[in-house]
Structure 1
């Protein structure tokens, strides 16, 4: 599932390419046809992301809410429009570009109030200027749940996924199974600040890189990472391989149905 930086990157792209002018909206697949007919020809006022959710705002006519889930993708191209390929839930066409949405978990037209209700159910998003990290800390500091599980709870913190979760815990030297209430406020501030910086870099580059310069392949002589997710990371998907800092084999376990990775030496209990 795409992490928050991907949705913010898409929001910036759609804001630049489509906002402020009338757009054509269609649903070749048919599952969004009635909603598309209501929006076709309207001005897209803005595009924004909150956590793993994307919102296309059409003012009083409503907001298109997209959650990509595990299989959703956007495909972008320059006009003229191409043929429909596969099950296209929504096609958006503007002045210079068009984009097809396939396979999302959610693609729905909501009222402004309904869209705001989704945002209100989410924790603060490190990539948003209006984020309030103290709201996440209030929940974390009272919880017996592991910090690894809390960071993935979108009601606690919005936009963080499996990669950022594993990497920020490594970078801050936090054992993943430590209860949230065992952290102190200063350490939480470090986690938040690090997450915001890593995710902003992800928005700019379109990939997740978490490794310090001194641990990069060109410095250490190791082979670059080969993974469909891209980016240089410390522990994510490196189970059994030596830690890039201390050489200890990276550990792995399943937590709440997701794979968790950490270094037992750099992140001691």
Structure 2
């Protein structure tokens, strides 16, 4: 399932490429045809991400709520303007012992930090690829891109004619400004909401370090966890307790805290609960910057490159069932907790 860092990256991509533009909307799959008709031709005016959900505002106070769920993703084509706040994977954030090291951008082999498909990892069919330096279409290609697979919603920016781009007869001769296509596939939720409905949806979510005041979020998170008899391994996945944490971050946060996932929340020492919040804040920011769930610290430049290129080299316990713990050598355990796979070290996390 796409976790919180992916949704924040999607929102930033929308802010750079869609917000402030009028869009055409369609539902090639047909399952969102009525909603697409409502927003077709409207201007996207704002976007926000909270946890695993994104909210895209259109004029007349109409909001699109998208929850990617297990398999959802946004695929982008056309001219993609890179958000300058999302740095290349240069090793600086999370690599506090490597100040001054400047590593080149490292792309994950599975495309996890792709600019063209964000959400559930996939090898997307991309017709036009853009870089930070690109100002026009990278190559001549079919436009709009052909619909591939089950696209719930397609949003395309509508070109705005410019007097400087007029032909001899006074008519506009081509599209002006960035032209971007965003295809939504496989979401759990795709619906229109009013502003009040958006507020009600967000009110049900736990704090998000990139949205809420950090101090207030810490207090909310700590108070809820400390009064719950539920296992901490389940609480971290509960979006009403804390927003954005999924299966990968859950396993890694618990290992980094050396915390047994079965410990009732109310039995976790307060300083450990607060430590989980601070660690989540840090890891989420690293995920947004790099596009990858990097959870290992103090790596050498070579190890960092290897980890950024392969998921198997950037996690402590996730997806390592049966392999020796990187710290103590104990076999990493795999079990099911609340229908989701849980990876942990029985020795380090007693």
Give TM-score, length-normalised by structure 2. Answer: 0.71
RMSD: 2.1
Q: Is the 8 A contact 2:20 2:43 kept in 1?
A: yes
User: Within 5 Å, which residues of 2 pair with 1:1-269?
Assistant: 1-78=1-78, 80-94=143-157, 95-130=178-213, 132-214=217-299, 218=302, 232-268=314-350
Comparing 36-45 with 9-18, greater Cα deviation is found at 36-45
Q: Is the 8 A contact 1:30 1:89 kept in 2?
A: yes
Q: CA deviation at 1:57?
A: 0.9
Q: Is the 8 A contact 1:87 1:102 kept in 2?
A: yes
User: What's the CA shift string for 1:217-257, capped at 9, x where partnerless?
Assistant: 9459xx86996x66610001111111111212112211111
- The alignment partner of 1:152 has SS state of coil
Q: CA deviation at 1:97?
A: 1.0
Q: Is the 8 A contact 1:208 1:230 kept in 2?
A: no
Q: Is the 8 A contact 1:235 1:261 kept in 2?
A: yes
Tell me: higher relative CO, structure 1 or 2? Use CA pairs within 8 A at least 6 residues apart: 2
| Paired residues, number | 264
Structure 2 residue ranges without an equivalent (≥5): 80-142, 158-177
Q: CA deviation at 1:261?
A: 1.2
Higher CA-based Rg: 2
- The alignment partner of 1:109 has SS state of strand
Structure 1 residue ranges without an equivalent (≥5): none
Q: Is the 8 A contact 2:50 2:202 kept in 1?
A: yes
- The alignment partner of 1:60 has SS state of coil
Q: Distance in 1 between matches of 2:237 and 2:323?
A: 24
Q: Distance in 1 between matches of 2:29 and 2:42?
A: 21
Give TM-score, length-normalised by structure 1. Answer: 0.91
- The alignment partner of 2:47 has SS state of strand
Q: CA deviation at 1:133?
A: 2.3
- The alignment partner of 2:292 has SS state of coil
Flag the 1:264–1:128 CA change in 2: closer, same or farther, 3 A.
same
Query: Structure 1 runs of 4+ off > 2 angstroms?
Result: 216-220, 223-227
